[in-house]
Structure formats: C-alpha cells, structure tokens
Amino acid sequence: MSEFNINALDDVIHGRIRLGVMAYLVGAETADFSALKTHLGTTDGNLSVHLRKLEEAGYVTIEKSFRGRKPLTAVSLTPSGREAFTQYLGALSGLIGKS
C-alpha cells in the first residue's frame, strides 16, 4: 500500500532537533554551537544532549576552542554523517509525492 518503510528511517537523525542540526550542517558544514542554538530555538542543555548523540553515532565532530576568552564550540558534519543523511532522505523520499 505504501513504498515508505519506517524501519529504513535512521532514528538517530529522525529526532526533530537532530534532524534540524543535520539539515543545517549539510548546508553549512560547520556551525558554532550558539548559531545552532539560535537557529533551532532550543536550550544549551537540550542541544548538548542531541549533539552528543550525533557525535556518538559518528555523524558530527565537536571541537572546543577559545576566541580570546570566549569559548567556541564548532560542530562539523563528518563524511559518514553526510552519507547517513543522504540515506535518510532516500528513505523519506518514498513519502514525498503522497497525499
């Protein structure tokens, strides 16, 4: 009845905040923690939790540094994150065109 298979959807990516992070990074490659937080309208704590999950999956890397005294946290998409996102979009594409 449907070509769409929910089991093909990567759970790590499907979560809303994580999906937002991945979608942003696919365009930006690297983003500062604060920029992501603003873009997604979320909190430090919530964003940290989701970034850690993406990092554990190997989809992003997180690098902390300082610009002067100001801490900077750079979040970057990895090649395997990009690949996983492409597969996620492929799984979703069965949905598009429906309705």
Question: Site residues (CB under 8 A) for a copy of itself?
Answer: 1-2, 4, 6-7, 9, 11, 14, 16-17, 19-20, 23-24, 26-28, 31, 39-41, 82, 85-86, 89, 92-96, 98-99
Report the residue number, 11 or 63, with the smaller CB distance to a copy of itself.
11
What whole-number distance in Å separates Cα of residue 95 and Cα of residue 99?
9
Cβ contacts of 73 within 8 Å, gap of 6 or more = 32, 33, 62, 63, 64
CB of 17 to a copy of itself, least distance (A): 7
Q: How far is the CB of 69 from a copy of itself (least distance, A)?
A: 27
Least Å distance between CB 53 and a copy of itself? 16
- The answer to whether 72 and 81 are in contact (CB under 8 A) is no
Distance of CA 76 to the CA centre of its chain: 9
